[in-house]
Structure 1
């Protein structure tokens, strides 16, 4: 069946605005961060703009390639569900300062990408493997060849699931990887266990693959900070809300039954195939996570410990105390702790 897509209107205007505003620090004044407002990126190269890579099936993947002179490595950042590369400027700034080139991109069906369904707020995918294949095409076609630098991988949430599969299927591409609250399972308990939502999604996707999971429409809406399950950082939470309002093209609502079923289908083979990994893995776990399953992350690391070529570097996930799901967008204390672990992990990989 041919996929339906929604072309982004005013795309060229958005690209100029988004990079001019986000990389030069425009919208941040209304949401000062805990430590200080994010400073504009000081780019030692001409101002970059988001580009679109046409894939073999006609879909286009938005990406941002930030390259600097004398880089010591290249970092690929893989974001989570509902996210966009535009959200990651503060994080990109940190790793540019570490001397890395940075590649960011948006998954199909979210961010600056075209949508799958007529309802632009539905988070949908026909097959989860497509995310992995898109990522591989991007790396093969965008990164300079021959590759002069080691590749490092940083992924969050759904991006952690995509990246875990990628590392299993393409074990020799990256030198090291860090996963932030990876979606190795979801917290989907309805009556009996965390697996309840997956069982229901598998059933409902047969009848209503593109219907909103949960039986009710869940379009995008501005969320209230109080009681949110993502971050304890009021400023970072408000800033992303502001970003969604400023650029409606990136707005995304709830997932579909199809997305839920496809995601759940990869969890077990992901653990079973962990023996294919050939690099050290850092897994950051949010202590207070109610979005993804900490139990599943523990089980993934346990399976990986049987692999002599890989393994979670501390024997299991590193628990970030007091953190909600978005450890990389948490309050400064938890965020800095996470970045310290990541920086040390990458530095060790580059020294070998």
Structure 2
């Protein structure tokens, strides 16, 4: 693995405001493309000198490019060309609700189609003969799993980080999920906040968040406060119903994933039920699991020891994938 110095707690903000910002402003090239239905989605490409492979990064719910600046920096410094698309309804991509901080999707098949169109229109024309890997987090991890099941030949290998295989508190019978979705449509609530969801709150703290690293949480929150495009926050009825259906489908069809797969899970995850990982693992017995017992949902924003181990594991896994792809 390339020798990379991972940021700690004390040097994070200074590095992000100076070296990382200068790097991102210079190297991250942004663009937009029309997805399969005409929705315009923003994306970024970041290309090091003589890249050794390409990676598509798929983010999670309520996330955006700025949240991944540290992560993408490490991938770049390790020699990987990165493609990052803000999923519909997120960041500067189209598809927002009338209340722009509420997240809606009709079906995860739409996310999958968006990803496939992005790969065909943007990634593959700029791939050359380099191998292509996937890194996907949370909601993106569920989307990524569904994509791998439908398009088994696109990627050479994949890493799913805290993938949304089963949301806590969402263990409803399939018929009830369908009825909730029908109720939301009939009452016009599909794009309204689901129960227990909230609008963007600029005063939230790290205490009850998915992160442990306070500097990282504050840095990302400052980006959200400053830019309304980054304030996506609460799940709609429609998103919740689509997510429950998607996670069950991802587990059911997991046996269709034939490429090398690594799954990274958090021990203090308040969003994901570990039973989903167990069910997923039964259907993909060859998958390698890394467990980070002290981490909350966002392992890349965990405590310093866990976080540095996570990034080490990510880069080591990618280099292993690269060696196997040669």
Per the TM superposition, whether the score is higher than 0.5 is yes
Matched, 1:228 2:200: no
**Equivalent residues of 1:229, 1:291 under 8 A apart:** no
**Equivalent residues of 2:54, 2:127 under 8 A apart:** no
| Matched residue SS, 1:40 | helix
Matched, 1:171 2:147: no
**Equivalent residues of 2:210, 2:297 under 8 A apart:** yes
User: TM-score normalized by structure 1?
Assistant: 0.81
Matched, 1:344 2:325: no
Among residues 172, 175, 179, which one is paired with 1:203 in the alignment? 179
Matched, 1:329 2:301: yes
Judging changes above 3 Å, is the alpha-carbon distance between structure 1 residues 229 and 44 closer, same or farther for their aligned structure 2 residues? Answer: closer
How much does 1:116 deviate?
3.7
Aligned-CA RMSD value = 2.2
Alignment of 1:66-85 (within 5 A): 66-85=46-65
| Matched residue SS, 2:135 | strand
Judging changes above 3 Å, is the alpha-carbon distance between structure 1 residues 350 and 122 closer, same or farther for their aligned structure 2 residues? Answer: same
| Matched residue SS, 1:65 | strand
| Matched residue SS, 1:94 | helix
Aligned length: 307
Matched, 1:156 2:137: yes
Aligned counterpart, 2:115: 135
Give ranges in structure 2 of 5+ residues lacking alignment: 1-7, 185-189
Q: What is the distance in 1 between the residues matched to 2:26 and 2:204?
A: 38
Between 261-270 and 179-188, the greater mean CA deviation after superposition: 261-270
Compare relative contact order (CA 8 Å, sep 6+) and give the higher one, 1 or 2: 2
Q: What is the distance in 1 between the residues matched to 2:260 and 2:28?
A: 32
| Matched residue SS, 1:167 | helix
Judging changes above 3 Å, is the alpha-carbon distance between structure 1 residues 198 and 85 closer, same or farther for their aligned structure 2 residues? Answer: farther
Q: What is the distance in 2 between the residues matched to 1:54 and 1:239?
A: 31
Q: What is the distance in 2 between the residues matched to 1:200 and 1:337?
A: 41
How much does 1:257 deviate?
0.9
Question: Greater helix percent: which structure?
Answer: 2
1:125-156 CA distance string (max 9 Å, x none): 01111001100111111123563211111111
Give ranges in structure 1 of 5+ residues lacking alignment: 1-31, 189-193, 306-310
Q: What is the distance in 2 between the residues matched to 1:126 and 1:148?
A: 36
User: TM-score normalized by structure 2?
Assistant: 0.88
| Matched residue SS, 2:41 | strand
Alignment of 1:138-287 (within 5 A): 138-143=118-123, 144=125, 147-188=128-169, 194-196=170-172, 202-208=178-184, 209-214=190-195, 218-287=198-267
How much does 1:119 deviate?
1.2
How much does 1:176 deviate?
1.4
**Equivalent residues of 1:107, 1:113 under 8 A apart:** yes
Between 85-94 and 194-203, the greater mean CA deviation after superposition: 194-203
1:229-278 CA distance string (max 9 Å, x none): 30111111111110001111221131111111111112222122112112
1:131-184 CA distance string (max 9 Å, x none): 011001111111235632111111110000000001111111111111111001
Aligned counterpart, 2:4: none
